[in-house]
Structure 1
Amino acid sequence: MSDFPVIRTPRLILRELCPADVPALFAIHSDADAMQWFGTDPMTDDQQAEQLLAQFASWRSLPNPGVRWGIERQAEPGLLGTCGLFKWNRPWRSCAIGFELARAAQGQGLMTEALHAVAGWGFEQMALNRIEAQVHPQNLASLRLLERMGFVREGLSRQAGYWLGAHHDLVQHGLLRADWPSLAPLAASPV
């Protein structure tokens, strides 16, 4: 992956994260209530946001690369959250999807719009056959979002996650390329 794949949707720009995003990334990831389902402890200082930014950037150079996009409105610059594809298993043509959104931007269909574009990009540009997601069973908003996108619940991974000093079960979901054509009109084209 050489050039960063910028994606535009009707309302959003999915773009490369940059150092100017650190304060917004910190604000999102330090919100303990919003991050209770993310899979990591809430951030306590800006350095952690800088490290997360570097981690997301490093995904593109891994043997099995991934992409993490910053999400912002086309009409109003400023980071709203991130989403991405990671843990790419090229021989199996599969990867995982992850996402988070600032609390003020939730409930507006923005993540649905972003994830439709990202999934479409993954099926087209990465030649994926499968996209996986793991979500905490009490994260109802994310579970509903995945179901609206066509992800199928496949089971429960017992105590698969560990954050906030406790082990957590995660609900496993999968979206197959064969399931995608009915959703394809909602996906945006890469720029």
Structure 2
Amino acid sequence: MTNANAADVPAERFPSLATPRLTLREIAPTDAASLLAIHGDREAMRWFGSDPITSLPEAEQMVQTFASLRKPPVLGIRWAIERNQDRRHIGTCGLFRWNRNWKSCSVGYELARDTWGNGLMTEAVGAALTWGFESMALNRIEAQAHPENAASLKLLQRLGFVEEGRQRQAGFWCGEHHDLVQLSLLRYEYSNGRKQ
């Protein structure tokens, strides 16, 4: 599934991942237009945690922001999700807020609305989690989801995440404060789940 190891985390070579239907690769400047289409879709971004973007320069800045995660000190990694059947860039997923001392980070993701409901994000995030536990030596991966984002909560639970509680008005986007559900997945839980 992966062609990277722990030594590659801060290196120049970007760790591409493969699943049966997807390639997780480095986000490139040429992805800006598709990022604008995804992140400019107000309905698709309703639960993302930031306001929708409205211009190509904002999307180009997003490419730079995602790339900066890999610059020293490495804070995480964000992959472009490319569908193998047509090489279309359909979203991103990644690990961020990397705390090396605590061996923890957070996971985030988004997908073009016309590709929802096909299990693609389960594939993509599953590959990212495996890479995080194996190559970043993580013990804990955290996630936050809006309590009304049933699809995201179902995805996380399917991947083994355990709900820990509700953070009151922890997020602010689109002019409103939002509660967030806190979830986590531990290394031993993920390893045990993969053996079953």
TM tier relative to shorter chain: over 0.9
SS, match of residue 37 in structure 1: coil
Among 158, 167, 190, which residue is 1:180 paired with?
190
Two-structure CA RMSD over aligned residues (Å): 1.3
For 1:80 and 1:125, locate their aligned partners in 2 and report how far apart those are by CA, in whole Å. Answer: 25
State the aligned residue count.
Answer: 186
Among 115, 126, 139, which residue is 1:129 paired with?
139
For 2:176 and 2:165, locate their aligned partners in 1 and report how far apart those are by CA, in whole Å. Answer: 20
Amino acid at match of 1:68: R
The Cα offsets for residues 10-64 of structure 1, whole Å up to 9 and x where unpaired, read as 1110000101111100000000011010011111111111111100000111425
Among 104, 119, 131, which residue is 2:114 paired with?
104
> Runs in 1 of length 4+ with deviation above 6 angstroms?
none
Residue 148 (str. 1) matches residue 163 (str. 2): no
For 1:184 and 1:125, locate their aligned partners in 2 and report how far apart those are by CA, in whole Å. Answer: 17
1:65 match: 75
Unaligned runs of 5+ in 1: 187-191
Say if 1:97 and 1:133, in contact at 8 Å, map to a contact too.
yes
2:34 match: 24
Say if 1:64 and 1:87, in contact at 8 Å, map to a contact too.
no
Seen in structure 2, the aligned counterparts of structure 1 residues 149 and 20 have a Cα distance that, compared at 3 Å, is same
Higher relative contact order (CA 8 A, sep 6+): 1
Residue 5 (str. 1) matches residue 5 (str. 2): no
Seen in structure 2, the aligned counterparts of structure 1 residues 80 and 129 have a Cα distance that, compared at 3 Å, is same
Amino acid at match of 1:157: Q
2:65 match: 55
Say if 1:64 and 1:90, in contact at 8 Å, map to a contact too.
no
Unaligned runs of 5+ in 2: 1-9
Tell me the CA shift for residue 72 of structure 1: 0.8
Tell me the CA shift for residue 116 of structure 1: 0.7
Amino acid at match of 2:52: P
Seen in structure 2, the aligned counterparts of structure 1 residues 132 and 114 have a Cα distance that, compared at 3 Å, is same
Among 113, 118, 137, which residue is 2:128 paired with?
118
Normalising by structure 1, what TM-score? 0.94
The Cα offsets for residues 78-103 of structure 1, whole Å up to 9 and x where unpaired, read as 21000000000000000000000000
Tell me the CA shift for residue 76 of structure 1: 1.4
For 1:44 and 1:109, locate their aligned partners in 2 and report how far apart those are by CA, in whole Å. Answer: 28
Identical counterparts, % of pairs: 56
Amino acid at match of 2:75: P
For 1:91 and 1:48, locate their aligned partners in 2 and report how far apart those are by CA, in whole Å. Answer: 33
For 1:185 and 1:12, locate their aligned partners in 2 and report how far apart those are by CA, in whole Å. Answer: 23
For 1:98 and 1:185, locate their aligned partners in 2 and report how far apart those are by CA, in whole Å. Answer: 25
Among 140, 144, 167, which residue is 1:157 paired with?
167
